Structures are given as structure tokens and as C-alpha cells.
Amino acid sequence: MKVAVLAPVAWRTPPRHYGPWEQVASNITEGLIQKGIDVTLFATGDSITAGNLESICESGYEEDCNQDAKVLECLHISNLMEKASQFDIIHNNFDFLPLTYSALIKTPVITTIHGFSSPKIIPIYKKYNSAGHYVSISNADRSPELNYLATVYNGLNIKDFEFTQTPDEYLLYFGRIHPDKGAADAIEIAKKSGRKLFIAGLVQDANYFREKIESQLSEQIEYLGNAEPHQRKSLLGKAFALLHPISFNEPFGMSVAEAMLCGTPVIAYNKGAMPELIKSGETGFLVNNVNEAVDAVDQLKHINRRDCHNWAAAQFSSEKMVDEYLGLYKQILRR
């Protein structure tokens, strides 16, 4: 079987800092290669893979802003589609645009839908409903207008994370600095619970950061910047808990699974995929507001950190994800 994995070209695959789609595309690629599958990764030229690499740009447009994003995306996708006949199956991790080529090629395309940036993109998915093979990353993130082959949870490389039995006393916010992700609520939770808070993540909304976050920074509330991968493991593992007070229906939540792999429980607002990721009362708590989150901090002493790790390892490993995708490839090719 020859597989083409299409990653985005915003960031390197795997990403240096932020880039969840690129990270999942990398985990799929490397996991398939470990199983002896012939894989070509379509990504930026500085991407790292044990397989074949195809690229039309040396670096991503978010890392080299002299490049035009749309131009790179069109060149990138067309590069794969013009070579489609070389592959048995194409795994699209690059949203809806590649679907517009799918009726012009014979190679089947399986698309992991990593969330909907807007309801306005659904008509493209609907157009290719009968010919496409759609996979959701959680049961919560499904459109009733689309046909799905399966739900496959994002998988993480367990060896990249270390279990920590005895944490420090700080709370951690780890994610994009954007109103959707709730950093301001995390600050309020930390203040009301009397605990130190570390904030780590990419500033995606500069105004929100300046008005809601920067003005609150102190000895108790520290912003660490966009954490490197080696910092991520330590920050997540030593945290007393991860705060994830999202204000939108998040499709998955990589940091939630990563924290639990380290043994760190998660306190999250009960939205989107959170009930699928967190076993409330066992690996963290699902809450509805700041005050409930503060109460949950007091209940963290009842959480067994080993249970957090075991749950995440069983549900969100790259091995499990790759096995499920490989089964779907075979199912599609049998048709």
C-alpha cells in the first residue's frame, strides 16, 4: 500500500511550537511507516519524516511571512493531486480545499475533519458527501449534514510524555491566547483558588492578550511565552492541574490529552469534545463556570494521577489512532 499524507503548510510537520493539524499528520505518517507502509508526506521542506517528503516551499507561511498563504496552499495541494496516480490512497489533513480536486482523480481521498472554522465551509463537504470518506476527531464535532466513515481520536506519542506522580502546586493554562480558549477565565480561577498560574501559548489575539492577560500578570500569574516541546512535557507533568475553560465547542483539545498522559488532571468547561476526553471525577472535572472550577480545584486531591495517565494512554495513543486509520484505508480500498 502506498499512502500520501497531506499536511498543511502553515507550520513545519511536526511543528516546532503550535500546529495541531501538523502534529497529527506527523503522528499518522510516522506511525504508518513503523508498520511498514510506504508513506509520502506532503508538507513544508523543513519537515521531518522517516518516509518520503514532497514539498513546494522550504518553510511554512506562518514562519516566513514573506510568503503568500493562498499561493502556497494552491501549489502544495496541486503538487499532490498531479501525482495522485502514484498512490493507493490519499489522507487529507488539510481541510476542505483538497476536496475540490477529488472528483478529478481516481485515487480515493480520506479526509480527517479537524473542526469547522465556519459553517460556511460545509457546502464544500456536502458536495463531496457521496464520494468522500470523512472522519471526525470526536463524536461532538460532527455536522448532521455530512456522512462519516468513523470517529478517530487524535493520537499522541506516549513516549514523548513522562508520568509525574508528585506535582508542584501551580495551575497551568496551555494553549492559544484567544477568547475561545479562556485564558482570562483561567486567571480568575487561579486568583480565586489562591494558586500560582503559568500561562503558555501562542498569542493569537493581540488585543485580547493586551487587555485581558497582560494587565493581570504578576508574581502569581506568569506568562511563559510559546513553550518549546521540551518545556511542554515538564510544564504539563509538574502542574497540579491543567485549566481548560474554553468558550466554544472545541473539536478535540490536544493539551487535554497531553496533560492526562503526564498524570495531570484537567478542569475544563463542559463544552464540545470535553466529555469524551475527560472522565469527570476520575481524570479531572467538567464544570460550567469559574466558581465551579474553583470548587473543582479543592477536589483535585481525590484524583489518582495514575488513572489520568492510564485513561489517556488507552484512548489517545498514536498506535491506536494509526491502527484505526489503517483499518479505514483497507475498508475503502476493498470497495
What would the grid cell of residue 170 be?
Answer: 501551580
Nearest residue to 154 (alpha-carbon basis) of 273, 316, 328: 316
Which pLDDT value is given to residue 18? 82
Answer yes or no: do 166 and 307 share one domain. yes
Q: Which residue numbers in the chain have pLDDT < 70?
A: none
Answer yes or no: do 311 and 182 share one domain. yes
Q: What DSSP letter does each residue of 140-184 carry, written as one string?
A: SS--TTS--SEE----B-GGGS---SS--S-EEEES-BSGGGTHH
| Number of compact structural domains in the chain | 2
Angle among Cα 24, 128, 329 to the nearest 5 degrees reads: 45
Answer yes or no: do 201 and 298 share one domain. yes
Which pLDDT value is given to residue 23? 95
Which pLDDT value is given to residue 228? 77
- Count other Cβ atoms within 10 Å, centred on residue 258: 23
Answer yes or no: do 289 and 300 share one domain. yes
Which pLDDT value is given to residue 335? 83
**Inter-CA distances, 256 with 19, 108, 236, 274, 278, Å:** 15, 32, 10, 9, 8
Give me the residues paired with residue 54 across strands: 42
pTM: 0.94
Nearest residue to 161 (alpha-carbon basis) of 321, 323, 317, 324: 317
Q: Phi and psi (nearest 5°) for 201?
A: 160, 165
Answer yes or no: do 81 and 199 share one domain. no
Answer yes or no: do 208 and 253 share one domain. yes
Query: The domain that contains 242 carries what CATH number?
Result: 3.40.50.2000
Strands 284-287 and 266-269: parallel
Which pLDDT value is given to residue 261? 97
Q: Which amino acid is at 8?
A: P
**What DSSP character marks residue 204?**
-
**Averaged confidence pLDDT in the chain:** 96
Answer yes or no: do 213 and 100 share one domain. no
Which pLDDT value is given to residue 17? 82
Answer yes or no: do 178 and 300 share one domain. yes
Answer yes or no: do 136 and 7 share one domain. yes
Answer yes or no: do 309 and 321 share one domain. no
Domain that holds residue 229: 158-315
Answer yes or no: do 196 and 96 share one domain. no
Q: What DSSP letter does each residue of 48-73 carry, written as one string?
A: --SSEEE-S-SS-TTT-TTS-HHHHH
Contact criterion met (CB below 8 Å) for 327 and 1: no
Answer yes or no: do 78 and 116 share one domain. yes
Owner of C-alpha cell 497540579: 240
